[in-house]
Amino acid sequence: MTATARDTLNMRIKPEDRSLFDWAAKAQGKTRTDFILEAARRAAEDVLLDRAVVHVGEEAYADFLARLDAPAAPNERLKRTMRTKAPWE
């Protein structure tokens, strides 16, 4: 396929789902097709990214575990933030 070629995907959906998609697409100024394709693409990427495997050497993995096990060492900025009263209080 060329870069501009498109394929067709037919789906059977409930009328209330179609209305929901239409309302959401209109709210974003998109066509129903563009809205659904963008949402489906994002969901597909999320699924695949969640299954990504990171391979590291033994030394890097040991360093990673040591950092996770190390006690927290708050810096001055964090201490100041924790002492500051929340705006809603």
Measured distance CA(19)–CA(42) in Å, rounded: 21
User: According to the model, what pLDDT value does residue 3 have?
Assistant: 67
- At residue 1, does pLDDT exceed 60? no
Residue among 47, 45, 23, 25 nearest 34 (CA): 25
Confidence class for position 6, pLDDT limits 50, 70, 90: confident
Q: List, for residues 11-48, the tens digit of each pLDDT value.
A: 999 999 999 999 999 999 999 999 999 999 999 999 99
User: According to the model, what pLDDT value does residue 28 have?
Assistant: 97
Task: Give the type of residue at 25.
Answer: A
Q: List, for residues 37-82, the tens digit of each pLDDT value.
A: 999 999 999 999 989 888 999 999 999 999 999 998 889 998 999 8
